Amino acid sequence: MTAARPLNSPVPSSATEELLRVDALSVGFAGREGPVPILREVGLSVGRGEIVCLVGESGSGKSMTALSIAGLLPPGAQRTAGRITLGGTALAGQGPDAFDTARGKRIGVIFQEPMTALNPVLKVSEQISESLVRHSGMGWAEARRETIRLLGEVGIADAPRRADQFVHQLSGGMRQRVMIATAIAANPEFLIADEPTTALDSTVQAQVLDLIRGLRDSRGMGVLFITHDLGVVAEIADRVCVMYAGRVVEEGPVREVLQNPRMPYTRGLLAALPREDGRVARLQAIPGNVPAPRDMPPGCSFAPRCAAATEVCAAALPALEEVAPGHSVRCLRWQALPDQAARPDLVPDPEHAERPAILKVRDLVKHYPVRTAFGARHGQKVRAVDGVSFDLARGEVLALVGESGSGKTTLGRCLMQLVPPTSGSVTFEGTELIGLPEKRLFDLRRRLQIVFQDPFASLDPKMTIGQILAEPLRLHAIVPKDQVAERVARLLDTVGLPATAAARRPADFSGGQRQRIAIARALALEPEVIVADEAVSALDVSIRAQVVGLLQDLRADLGLSMVFITHDLALVRQIADRVLILYLGQVMEEGPAAEVFRQPRHPYTRALLSAIPVPDPDRRRERIVLGGDIPSPINPPSGCVFRTRCPRATAECARDVPAMRGFGPGHAAACLHPLGDGDA
């Protein structure tokens, strides 16, 4: 049911045989004055049985490099120079047939989003079998048998039943496993994994990383693993290549690069991460953004954002220079930098203090009826939120944490009355929100706002940013009409955007900038409570640091209270005062964030904490890998809902529903066999 293993266990010895080699690869998009460079003389290699991580912010060229290797360049993109060889066989320059022959049979690809990469109208078995029939010469009956075996190999329980399901019937973790099974079906020698864990919970992410590492060990594949999470890099990589603005700017053994980075950009990425041993005053974001391909500076492309840059950096393009055996950096001033990158100092955790509640939630329930294909109701219900109670104090940040399917998003929308609860109570400063007349609720909503996970989906693409921010001001008559434009400019300034942004549309901005706009939209009505639903989960580490810093500033300046929904526990330690751990719609543990991190009392909390990636290959700790997936909320387990995955479960846990038990000021857990002081 549950297995434990030390993190960062030794990887196989360094590969001696080169499998993939990329030399001076350049790719551009067609433009009026010639190709606009996207990749600029990229060089890298991957050995047999080696995992190489490709790291960098969005726009650095990671995915374009992977697409080039797989022969999947988007329309309008073309390779303008360079060589790609796989096992000594040239791919680039040999026509599209060379890639078509290699892809699937010799090169497997795991895409970032399985719901868009997998065919929604084909069953799982049909999708995997198609690759086997095409590349391995199997008949369909034999391919189905092999598909079921592959599903078992990637850790999907009850493989025969899952093989006959469609992808929408699977959880996010299972869909990613199906994507992996499809990629390895024809037994490729080289695997490309493009951000395969970015949107996954920490527990599912840990399972996927173990799976890829196990496939590398058992099959001897070379793996190019693309990510922006340096914690993941430390856990899985043998070597790492850091990309910026279409070039490799640092490369080397993972331990050397992460413990002794020489490129200021690499140091900036590491500094932007939350510290695993406590909180800092402020995450250190890299200023500015990756330059657009058309606006590339003449010298070092990172110079405009680099605190160590000089006039020489702005004029001369640095070459990759070896600074240690196997460790190279593209920087003119690496020798002038301190040997060790500075780490931000820790600050004391906030002390637990009783404060008046601005929001009170009691026994909140949200059940959805199950319907047949013809619309008739069953007696069964989806128990999305199943009796949650908590208080949100004025000026407090409360983090809601749990795996996908735990009820976090549904709970957040119930708080806002965007989803009507089935029962329970939600009071805002003494006013019951459930059942409140629409007119009264409309008036109160100016004080309760939400920031959605995907700003591109929540911002109207046809409206300018000025129109988007002005709309709530006009609806609620916050300011006179002649002052709306001035207020919009002030909102943009609050979130660090220029007033000229008001004339542009959402598509003109980066992901981090769009998230800032979504925050400005929520702030327009001067709310007292903000629900932030996974507002930073898909952002690069530097952009995430910027947005988290912005939220902290707004809380300090405006006295905001915040419900911060996330699956990133490392970030919880940095931003939250208290944390609420959810599982199958129920509260497993709650308490001050620092206390829960120091001494978790529920086995589920301990498993979540143990799965946090640490950006240091030499860190050792016991990781609790939860077996299986979260049970169906239609038919949750009896007694304790976590017992089917709990290493401490007994017969008593199947019979009795645990009550919340106190372990100190504000700290409680719902467990019949809680962890003791020496169990963390």
Assess whether 329 and 433 both reside in one domain. no
Using only C-alpha atoms, what is the Rg of the chain?
26
Assess whether 409 and 363 both reside in one domain. yes
Q: Could you give the dihedral angle defined by the CA atoms of residues 246, 250, 253 and 254, in that order, rounded to the nearest 10 degrees?
A: -80
- pLDDT at 256 (0 to 100): 95
Task: State CA 540 to chain mean position distance.
Answer: 9
- pLDDT at 15 (0 to 100): 44
- pLDDT at 373 (0 to 100): 55
Mean pLDDT score, 375-394 = 85
- pLDDT at 620 (0 to 100): 61
Of the ranges 111-115, 204-208, 441-445, which is most confident? 441-445
Give the lowest-confidence range in 172-176, 372-376, 620-624.
372-376
**Residue 325 reports pLDDT greater than 50:** yes
Percent of the chain at pLDDT > 70 equals 94
494: which DSSP letter? H
**Last residue within a domain, chosen from 304, 336, 368:** 336
**Residue 201 reports pLDDT greater than 80:** no
User: What is the C-alpha to C-alpha distance for residues 559 and 554, in angstroms, rounded to an integer?
Assistant: 7
Q: Give the residue with greater pLDDT, 76 vs 673.
A: 673
Assess whether 307 and 376 both reside in one domain. no
Q: Give the residue with greater pLDDT, 9 vs 277.
A: 277
Mean pLDDT score, 10-34 = 76
Q: Contact at 8 Å (CB) between 646 and 2?
A: yes
Amino acid at 491: L
Q: Give the residue with greater pLDDT, 184 vs 9.
A: 184
Q: Contact at 8 Å (CB) between 214 and 49?
A: no
Give the lowest-confidence range in 153-157, 430-434, 601-605.
153-157
Assess whether 320 and 423 both reside in one domain. no
Token representation of residue 480: 């006179």
Give the lowest-confidence range in 115-119, 295-299, 535-539, 553-557.
535-539
CA angle 515-516-518, nearest 5°?
65
Confidence of residue 512 (pLDDT cuts 50, 70, 90): confident
Assess whether 67 and 200 both reside in one domain. yes
Assess whether 379 and 313 both reside in one domain. no
User: What is the C-alpha to C-alpha distance for residues 72 and 64, in angstroms, rounded to an integer?
Assistant: 9
User: What is the C-alpha to C-alpha distance for residues 46 and 67, in angstroms, rounded to an integer?
Assistant: 16
Confidence of residue 278 (pLDDT cuts 50, 70, 90): confident
**Residue 268 reports pLDDT greater than 80:** yes
Q: Could you give the dihedral angle defined by the CA atoms of residues 562, 568, 573 and 576, in that order, rounded to the nearest 10 degrees?
A: 10
User: What is the C-alpha to C-alpha distance for residues 304 and 290, in angstroms, rounded to an integer?
Assistant: 10
Assess whether 439 and 574 both reside in one domain. yes
**Residue 14 reports pLDDT greater than 50:** no
The string of DSSP codes covering 198-242 is TTS-HHHHHHHHHHHHHHHHHH--EEEEEES-HHHHHHH-SEEEE
Q: Give the residue with greater pLDDT, 405 vs 359.
A: 359
SS3 content of the chain, % helix, strand, coil (to 5): 35, 25, 40
User: Which residues touch 621 (CB under 8 Å, ≥6 apart)?
Assistant: 6, 7, 610, 614
Confidence of residue 4 (pLDDT cuts 50, 70, 90): very low
- pLDDT at 547 (0 to 100): 83
Assess whether 313 and 382 both reside in one domain. no
Confidence of residue 6 (pLDDT cuts 50, 70, 90): very low
Does 270 map to a domain? yes
Assess whether 310 and 415 both reside in one domain. no
**Residue 498 reports pLDDT greater than 90:** no
Give the lowest-confidence range in 213-222, 254-263, 548-557, 587-596.
548-557
Of the ranges 13-22, 23-32, 611-620, which is most confident? 23-32
Does 675 map to a domain? no
**Residue 35 reports pLDDT greater than 90:** no
Does 118 map to a domain? no
Q: How many residues does the chain have?
A: 680
Domain count, the chain: 2
The partner residues of 148 in beta bridges, in order of sequence, read none
Question: Residue written as tokens 């039943």?
Answer: 161
Does 348 map to a domain? no
User: Which residues touch 277 (CB under 8 Å, ≥6 apart)?
Assistant: 346
pLDDT digits (tens, 9 = 90+) for 401-438: 998 778 999 999 999 999 999 999 999 999 999 999 99
Assess whether 285 and 322 both reside in one domain. yes
Assess whether 361 and 439 both reside in one domain. yes
Mean pLDDT score, 449-462 = 86
643-651, long-range: CB < 8 A, 24+ apart: 644/1, 645/1, 645/2, 645/604, 646/1, 646/2, 646/603, 646/604, 647/1, 647/2, 647/603, 648/603, 648/673, 649/673
Element (H, E) at 381: strand 377-393
Does 163 map to a domain? no
Does 503 map to a domain? no
Confidence of residue 637 (pLDDT cuts 50, 70, 90): very high
Mean pLDDT score, 553-582 = 91
Token representation of residue 367: 């059940």
Percent of the chain at pLDDT > 90 equals 54
Does 165 map to a domain? no
The total of other beta-carbon atoms located within 10 Å of residue 660's CB is 13
111: which DSSP letter? -
**Backbone angles phi and psi of 455, in degrees to 5:** -65, -25
The string of DSSP codes covering 281-304 is SS--PPSS-PPPGGG--SS-TTGG
Segments in 105-229 forming alpha helices (H): 114-117, 124-136, 140-153, 159-163, 172-184, 202-219
Exposure string of 473-505, with b = 16+ CB inside 10 Å and e = fewer, is beeeebbeeeebbebbbebbebbbbeeebbeee
Assess whether 560 and 638 both reside in one domain. yes
User: What is the C-alpha to C-alpha distance for residues 546 and 132, in angstroms, rounded to an integer?
Assistant: 46
Query: Which range of residues forms the domain containing residue 208?
Result: 19-106+188-289+296-336
Does the pTM surpass 0.75? The reply is yes
Does 381 map to a domain? yes
User: What is the C-alpha to C-alpha distance for residues 282 and 62, in angstroms, rounded to an integer?
Assistant: 28
Average pLDDT, the chain: 88
CATH number of the domain to which 305 belongs: 3.40.50.300
- pLDDT at 254 (0 to 100): 96
Give the lowest-confidence range in 88-102, 287-301, 560-574.
88-102
Q: Give the residue with greater pLDDT, 652 vs 353.
A: 652
User: What is the C-alpha to C-alpha distance for residues 263 and 329, in angstroms, rounded to an integer?
Assistant: 6
Q: Rounded to the nearest 10 degrees, what angle do helices 140-153 and 124-136 cross at?
A: 110
